[in-house]
Structure 1
Amino acid sequence: MWMYLGLLAALFLGLHNLCKKDAVRDNEVFPVLLGTIGSGFLMLLPLYIGSTYLPELTKSIGLHITEIPWSTHGFIVIKSLLMASSWVLAYQALKHLPITIVTPIRSAGPFFTFIGAILIYQEQPKSLQWIGFFMIILSVLLYANIGRKEGIHFKSNKWIFAIIGATFLGASSGLYDKFLIQNLSLTPQTLQFWFCWYTVLILCVILSVTLFPRPEKRAAFKWRWTIPAVGVLLQAADYFYFKALQDPEALIMLLSAIKRSQILIAVVLGGLIFKEKNKRKKLIPLFGIMLGVGLILYS
């Protein structure tokens, strides 16, 4: 069951990436990011209010937000710091790079998760899983060659380093999620609510320096319907992902790889919607990534 939940998370993540590309297009990144996370928080706020005043109702529908000790809040703050840093880098990169380059690079995240799962959680990969992961990495390198034809040089482009850093931080957060869900026994909605709350606070601190004192930047911000859509789709994806992690048999390295199937939506639909170049050539490494994910599922 956890694999199917992972595929549902991938579906919502793919749609989330399409909306995110439109949200940051010719726009100020930090207020867009605050708008997306804030939208997710507002979506979860009724659950928190219901859990406080109508606990029996939220428990009956399986969406009760439980009370947690302050020490657990500290662990959630760490996750918020990891993901806020990852998103800031990723949003900046997505603003300056084609979605058909950014998304495949982010698909290298399972490789970092793969190593962490072995070292931290002692998950044991099979031979086909090894092949699948390295096929994903090889396909990402093929994307680098295609990117050069679009004037994107991977060694000198600072946005490439930004998206690589975002990928590493995101993978670290993914490994941390297993600890939060399984070791601290947090429910998906409890983790999502407090994570959104602390991330909003962190972003408000950032914007108090980068946006609020600068009228020209505030004027440059453009509101689009895709901004709240990003937040809603992300929360839907996270819910299914955390539900999958609740299964004691779930392997984080496989779940992370399954989520990468989101690139099918980002590369195919994203390339058509945003009319990006070299779409046909990008289908070759795309097939390699999908084959790598397929090998992991098959194994």
Structure 2
Amino acid sequence: MWMYLGLLAALFLGLHNLCKKHAVQGNEVFPVLFGTILAGFLLLLPWFVLSKMNPSLAKYIGLYITDIPLSKHGFIFIKSAIMAASWILAYQALKHLPITIVTPIRSAGPFFTFIGAILIYKEAPTMPQWLGFFLIIFSVFLYSKIGKKEGIHFKSNKWIFAIIGATFLGSSAGLYDKFLIQNLSLEPQTLQFWFCLYTTLILLAVLSITFFPNAEKRKAFKFRWTIPAVGILLQMADYFSFKALQDPDALIMLLSAIKRSQILIAVVIGGLIFKEQNKRKKLVPLLGIMVGVALILYSN
């Protein structure tokens, strides 16, 4: 069951990435990011209010936000700080790079998760899983070669390093999610609500330094419908991902890989919508990534 929940998460992540590209194109990055997280927080706020006013109803519909001790708030705040840093790097990179380059690099995230799952959670990969992950990494290398034809040189482009850093931090947060859900026994909606609140506060502090004092940046910001859509789609993806992690049999390395199937939406549909270059050539490494994911999914 947890694998199907992972596929649902992948669906919403793919749509989330398309909306995110539209939201940041020619726009100020930090207010866009803040708007997406704020939208997610506002989506969850009614469930928090309902949990306080009518807890029995909230429990009945499965969206009760539980009271947690201060120590657990600290663990959630750490996740918020990690993801805020990851998103700041990722949004800046997405603004300056084609989605068909950004998304495949992000698809290397399962490799970092794979290593962490072995070292931290002692998850045991099979030979097909090893082959699948290295096929994903090799396919990302092929994307780098295609990227050079678009004037994107991976060794000298700072936005490439930004998206790699964002990918590493995002993978670390994914490993941390398993600890929060399984070791601390946090309910998905409880984790999501407090995570969104703390991330909103962190980004508000960043905006108070980088955006609000700058009149030119304020004028350059354009509100688009995709900004709240990004936040809503992300929360839906996170919900299904966290529900999958509640299964004690769920392997974070496989769940991370399953979620990479989102690239089918981002590369194929996104490439058509944003009219990016070399779409046909990018289908070759895309196929490699999909085969790598398939090897992981069906290795059992």
Q: Which structure 1 segments of 5+ residues have no match? A: none
Map of 2:148 onto structure 1: 148
Alignment of 1:208-287 (within 5 A): 208-287=208-287
1:25 Cα deviation from its structure 2 partner: 0.4
**2:194 pairs with 1:194:** yes
Q: Per-residue CA shift, 1:123-163, capped at 9, x if unaligned?
A: 00000000000000000000000000000000000000000
Map of 2:65 onto structure 1: 65
3-state secondary structure, aligned to 1:152: coil
3-state secondary structure, aligned to 1:167: helix
- What is the CA–CA distance in structure 2 between the aligned matches of 1:249 and 1:29, rounded to whole Å? 38
Q: Per-residue CA shift, 1:196-222, capped at 9, x if unaligned?
A: 000000000000000111111111100
Map of 1:11 onto structure 2: 11
Map of 1:113 onto structure 2: 113
3-state secondary structure, aligned to 1:222: coil
3-state secondary structure, aligned to 1:67: coil
**2:123 pairs with 1:128:** no
3-state secondary structure, aligned to 1:86: helix
3-state secondary structure, aligned to 2:264: helix
3-state secondary structure, aligned to 2:102: helix
Length-normalised TM-score, structure 2: 0.99
Alignment of 1:20-35 (within 5 A): 20-35=20-35
1:190 Cα deviation from its structure 2 partner: 0.2
- What is the CA–CA distance in structure 2 between the aligned matches of 1:158 and 1:14, rounded to whole Å? 25
Map of 2:84 onto structure 1: 84
1:228 Cα deviation from its structure 2 partner: 0.3
**AA partner of residue 181 (structure 1):** I
Q: Per-residue CA shift, 1:269-288, capped at 9, x if unaligned?
A: 00000000000000000000
1:45 Cα deviation from its structure 2 partner: 0.1
3-state secondary structure, aligned to 1:121: coil
**AA partner of residue 43 (structure 1):** L
- What is the CA–CA distance in structure 1 between the aligned matches of 2:62 and 2:214, rounded to whole Å? 44
1:39 Cα deviation from its structure 2 partner: 0.2
3-state secondary structure, aligned to 1:239: helix
Q: Per-residue CA shift, 1:167-221, capped at 9, x if unaligned?
A: 0000000000000000000000000000000000000000000011111111110
**2:285 pairs with 1:288:** no
1:115 Cα deviation from its structure 2 partner: 0.2
Map of 1:139 onto structure 2: 139
- What is the CA–CA distance in structure 2 between the aligned matches of 1:155 and 1:280, rounded to whole Å? 24
**AA partner of residue 21 (structure 1):** K
3-state secondary structure, aligned to 2:120: helix
**AA partner of residue 196 (structure 2):** C
- What is the CA–CA distance in structure 1 between the aligned matches of 2:104 and 2:244, rounded to whole Å? 23
Q: Which structure 2 segments of 5+ residues have no match? A: none
Map of 1:39 onto structure 2: 39
- What is the CA–CA distance in structure 2 between the aligned matches of 1:116 and 1:43, rounded to whole Å? 32
Report how many residues are paired.
299
- What is the CA–CA distance in structure 1 between the aligned matches of 2:91 and 2:213, rounded to whole Å? 21
- What is the CA–CA distance in structure 2 between the aligned matches of 1:141 and 1:58, rounded to whole Å? 47
- What is the CA–CA distance in structure 1 between the aligned matches of 2:127 and 2:13, rounded to whole Å? 28
Map of 2:161 onto structure 1: 161
List structure 1 runs of 4+ shifted beyond 4 angstroms: none
Map of 1:48 onto structure 2: 48
**AA partner of residue 197 (structure 2):** W
- What is the CA–CA distance in structure 2 between the aligned matches of 1:22 and 1:187, rounded to whole Å? 32
- What is the CA–CA distance in structure 2 between the aligned matches of 1:2 and 1:131, rounded to whole Å? 23
- What is the CA–CA distance in structure 2 between the aligned matches of 1:241 and 1:269, rounded to whole Å? 23
- What is the CA–CA distance in structure 2 between the aligned matches of 1:283 and 1:262, rounded to whole Å? 14
